[in-house]
A and B are shown apart, each in its own frame.
Chain A
């Protein structure tokens, strides 16, 4: 059984239902990419796994989130709190704002291991400096005493990652960890995360809208659109033969060598807001392969004969005819 298994997850936030039947699984040593445009429910999925929906007035309506055999949706807040940071770590989007400005960065890393592993001040400091060195922070022992505003964005994100790793978690959820960083730093941070997963055998859920990052780092990809899974497959298959029109469109948005200037395609329209999801397949107003059936019937997520799963009438029709 996979380390984290989300099945048929639907949530309810004050009467609206931004997630509808999300499912995916990730195992130790594996990187799962959760992809989609803004508003497709990536971050809400992460929030659900962390058990933080009540914070924004939401709740899990249906489905299960199993982590290492435990059903997270059934756990109490204190039980969840013991998991958070200890076994499931979360890396936030913007390192510029995710560190406490009046606390030295070293102390911020320390607090995690002190909280969860019960280390004393000295042991925690030694552990933090060790971690910082492994994350290739130069002069770690000096940086340890710095305040966040004295560090660059890439350094801050390393500190945030060090905080996430501090209690030796089994699962890391990284919500667009590189969006706020320079391109060169992005590649470094992603590479660092990939190394960590390979070395330590942690599971990583990488939330991103950047297909380039997915291609570089992930093993499997789940494409979300408007709160539903559009397609999931191994990263190789997704890029080699994308099936869902949305996946194709996303991949079509990546600039390639030898492209004529101005030929980079976008996806027409934008993700509908949660209150105005279209009936049937939620992608149908923007879809290039729309069938008469699409605006009426919700396409089920179907297992493909070769590999992967797709929720699309057009794909299903082709498969059954071909």
Chain B
């Protein structure tokens, strides 16, 4: 409806909360790292020292040097360039998967929580069933069914995290539904859609954002795991998991092939979690202000 007021509102929310996140040392460092990583991923084609698939067999499995900063892999490909390209795969797959998960989960959870009844029972049953499996198992099963590849990894991770967001949103909506302002909105003659999308969902958003942030970190690990098993990006497209997998054969002869991608995965996930922590703080402060 009011296309004008939504971005304006989101605008201040983002400014004030992100401002607070970056003001803390933890959030600042983690945020700076993540921004750097995202920029690397976006501009990889222009800034990598070598093409990611350029094989140079005479220099295969070379230790880090001034020519190849992070060494070369078993085909003589530049590890640094492949990590930079790998960031593209990892970040885009996990972010897209979580975005799907958040969006579908919010719609399902909101519908279930708001309308209740049979719909709620159906959604809750399915979601609880999938909730009872660990995400990685669910994702493995799904990829096994639809076959390996980037798209199916995205889909599998998205489904694996769906339960979390559906449950979270549903619980939020259930408690928000009883709020006076929702009753007041009904009294103003608003339709169900208006109430759900304009009032309930925006109010349920904060914890979902935090949860989505933290889940993105998990999704990176999940993506790397699927890649490690050869179920994610197919060669020669680099992904951190696949690089570690190929490096595992040479772990004693050329450890840099597995260590550097592993390090990047670890640092990225830690950064996302730290950033998420700072975000929790910032949003909580906001929630407290709202109550007062």
Question: For residues 34 through 76 of chain A, which have their beta carbon under 8 Å from a beta carbon of chain B?
Answer: 50, 52, 55
Give chain A's interface residue range (CB within 8 Å of chain B): 20 to 34
Beyond A97-B181, A98-B181, A100-B181, is A85–B203 a contact (Cβ under 8 Å)? no
Give A23 to B285 CA distance when docked, in angstroms: 49
Residues of chain A contacted by B203 (CB below 8 angstroms): 100-102
Which residues of chain B from 254 to 288 have any CB-CB distance to chain A below 8 Å in the complex? none
Asked whether A81 is an interface residue with its Cβ less than 8 Å from the other chain, the reply is yes
Residues of A within 8 A of B126 (CB): none
Contact with A along B169-204 (1 / 0, CB 8 A): 000000000011101111111110010001100110
> Which of B5, B179, B191 is the one whose CB lies under 8 Å from A107?
B5
- A103 contacts the other chain (CB 8 A): yes
Residues of chain A with a CB closer than 8 A to B185's CB: 100
A104 to B9, CA, bound (A): 8
B187 and A103: CB pair below 8 A?
no
Question: Is B15 engaged at the interface, CB distance under 8 Å to the other chain?
Answer: no
Least Cβ distance of A137 to chain B in Å?
Answer: 18
Main secondary structure of the interface of B (DSSP, over half): helix
A82 to B188, CA, bound (A): 9
Distance between Cα atoms of A149 and B292 in the complex (Å): 7
Assuming the A-B contacts A102-B203, A107-B5, are A90 and B198 also in contact, with contact meaning beta carbons closer than 8 angstroms in the complex? no
B180 partner residues in chain A, CB cutoff 8 A:
92-94, 97-98
**Which B residues lie within 8 Å of A110 (CB)?**
2, 5
Known contacts A107-B5, A107-B9: A115-B179 contact under CB 8 Å: no
Do the beta carbons of A97 and B179 come within 8 Å of each other? yes
Q: Write out, one digit per residue, whether chain A residues 86-113 have a CB within 8 A of any chain B CB (1) or not (0).
A: 1001101110011111111001001110
A160 within 8 A of B: yes
A28 in the interface, Cβ–Cβ < 8 Å?
A: no
How many A-B residue contacts, CB cutoff 8 Å? 91
| B-chain residues with CB within 8 Å of residue A100 when the two chains form the complex | 181, 185, 199, 202-203
Q: How many residues of B contact A (CB 8 A)?
A: 29
Question: What is the CA–CA distance of A103 and B194 in the complex, to the nearest angstrom?
Answer: 13
Q: Which of A86, A98, A102 contacts B189 (CB 8 A)?
A: A86
Query: B14 within 8 Å of A by Cβ?
Result: no
Say how far A145's CB is from chain B's closest CB, in angstroms. 8
Q: Mark B4-47, 1 if CB is under 8 A from A, else 0.
A: 11001100010000000000000000000000000000000000
With both chains docked as a complex, state the minimum distance between the C-beta of B132 and any C-beta of chain A, in angstroms: 33
A115 in complex: contacting residue of B181, B187, B188, CB < 8 Å = B188
Q: Across the interface, which residues of A come within 8 angstroms of B188, CB to CB? A: 84-85, 89-90, 111-112, 115, 163-164
Q: Which residue of B lies closest to A163 (CB)?
A: B188
| CA of A160 to CA of B187, assembled, Å | 12
The answer to whether B289 has its CB under 8 Å from any CB of chain A is yes
A194 at interface (Cβ–Cβ under 8 A)?
A: no
Whether B4 contacts A103 by the Cβ 8 Å rule is no
**Residues in chain B near residue A112, CB distance under 8 A:** 188-189
Q: Which of A200-234 contact B (CB under 8 A)?
A: none
**Alpha-carbon distance A92/B185, docked complex (angstroms):** 10
Q: A85-B189, A92-B184, A112-B188 are in contact. Are A101 and B290 (CB under 8 A)?
A: yes
A7 adjacent to chain B (CB < 8 Å)? no
Give the nearest-CB partner of B13 in chain A: A102
A225 and B275 alpha carbons, distance in the complex (Å): 58
- B137 interface hit (Cβ, 8 Å): no
- Interface pair A85/B187, CB less than 8 Å apart: yes
> Residue A114 at the B interface, CB < 8 A?
yes
Tell me whether B190 and A115 are in contact (CB under 8 A): yes
Residues on the A chain within 8 Å of B194, using CB = 111, 115
Give which listed residue, B4, B8, B186, B190, contacts A111 with CB less than 8 A.
B190
3 nearest CB pairs, A to B: A85-B189, A85-B188, A84-B189
What are 11 A-B interface contacts by the 8 Å CB criterion? Answer: A52-B186, A81-B190, A86-B189, A98-B180, A98-B183, A99-B181, A100-B202, A102-B202, A102-B290, A103-B5, A121-B5
Interfacial residues, chain A to chain B (CB-CB below 8 A): 50, 52, 55, 81-86, 89-90, 92-94, 97-104, 107, 110-112, 114-116, 121, 149, 160, 163-164
